[in-house]
């Protein structure tokens, strides 16, 4: 799990560096022009300044989804770790209780323990003493808990797919407003004003992609990690359940027949007489 920790740190550091870069690019445009001809030229606004200067419903929607996506990414960093997903101490406690045959305490422990192994093992324990029912219940519980883990990270996939669509929506609305301004002036609109409107519209595309890329990357990473952890957890739960398997009953062999009680085979001639068949010469 050390490799996973390094990957988490690298991803989080990349997100922070990107945010700092964008913020510095937006707020670095505060120096005033010197004098002369430079004072007459309007200085282009930074990216963040351009984005924040035209807030609209699409902008606030993308901003809200960005906060939600960041919270899900941080939550994934915290919860998708092996010592949180399936703690070694919980597995050892379950193994000790099974070895000591303290089954009631085992049921109580797995009822309150938040680990993956305890969650899938508890329904199976309640089906004792039927071994077939316990095994089938364990398989069902593993499937349900695995699906629940994937549903928790599925929101990142939804947000990542909505990001470009919302960005495209904002871009289309901005382009409609820009060309509407041209139509209202009879085609005599200022080129600078038209370019500014188009750049503002394209900012929504940037926001949508900036929302989608980290969310989809985090979703792919967490999906692989959850798949690996759930497989390890299901194998550990199956191993613990096998420790409680009752010994199979051996079939009782049939007693050997006594030699003195075996019937003596009759001669062929005697059998023919009894059946009424004439003897042939």
What is the value of pTM for the model shown?
0.67
Q: Is 66 helix (H, G, I), strand (E, B) or coil?
A: helix
Task: Please give the Cα distance from 87 to 99 (Å, whole number).
Answer: 19
Question: C-alpha angle with apex 256: 253 to 259, nearest 5 degrees?
Answer: 175
Which residue is listed with tokens 């009424």?
276
Could you report the per-residue pLDDT of 149-203, keeping only the tens digit for each?
Answer: 999 899 999 999 999 999 999 888 888 887 877 777 776 766 766 776 787 788 8
The model's pLDDT over 199-257, given as tens digits with 9 standing for 90+, comes to 778 888 899 999 999 999 999 999 999 999 999 999 999 999 988 887 764 455 666 65
Nearest of 42, 52, 6, 66 to residue 200 by alpha carbon: 52
Q: How far apart are CA 195 and CA 178, in angstroms?
A: 9
| CA 108 – CA 168 distance, rounded (Å) | 53
């Amino acid at each position: 799990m050390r490799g996973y920790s390094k990957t988490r740190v690298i991803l989080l550091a990349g997100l922070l560096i990107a945010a700092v870069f964008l913020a510095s690019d937006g707020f670095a445009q505060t120096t005033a022009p010197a004098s002369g001809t430079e004072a007459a030229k309007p200085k282009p606004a930074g990216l963040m300044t351009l984005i924040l200067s035209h807030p609209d419903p699409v902008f606030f929607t993308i901003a809200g989804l960005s906060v939600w996506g960041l919270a899900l990414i941080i939550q994934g960093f915290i919860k998708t770790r092996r010592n949180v997903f399936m703690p070694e101490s919980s597995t050892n406690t379950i193994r000790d209780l099974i070895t000591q045959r303290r089954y009631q305490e085992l049921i109580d422990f797995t009822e309150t323990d938040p680990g993956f192994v305890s969650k899938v093992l508890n329904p199976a324990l309640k089906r004792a003493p039927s071994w077939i029912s316990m095994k089938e219940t364990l398989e069902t519980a593993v499937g349900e808990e695995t699906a629940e883990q994937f549903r928790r990270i599925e929101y990142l996939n939804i947000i990542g797919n909505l990001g470009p669509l919302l960005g495209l929506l904002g871009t289309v609305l901005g382009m409609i407003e820009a060309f509407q301004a041209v139509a209202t002036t009879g085609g005599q609109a200022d080129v600078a004003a038209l370019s500014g409107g188009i750049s503002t519209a394209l900012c929504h595309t940037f926001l949508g992609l900036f929302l989608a890329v980290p969310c989809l990357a985090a979703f792919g990473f967490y999906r692989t990690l959850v798949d690996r952890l759930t497989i390890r957890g299901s194998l550990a739960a199956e191993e613990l359940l096998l420790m409680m398997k009752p010994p199979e009953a051996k079939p009782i062999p049939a007693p050997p027949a006594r030699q003195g009680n075996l019937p003596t085979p009759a001669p062929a001639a005697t059998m023919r007489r009894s059946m009424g068949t004439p003897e042939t010469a």
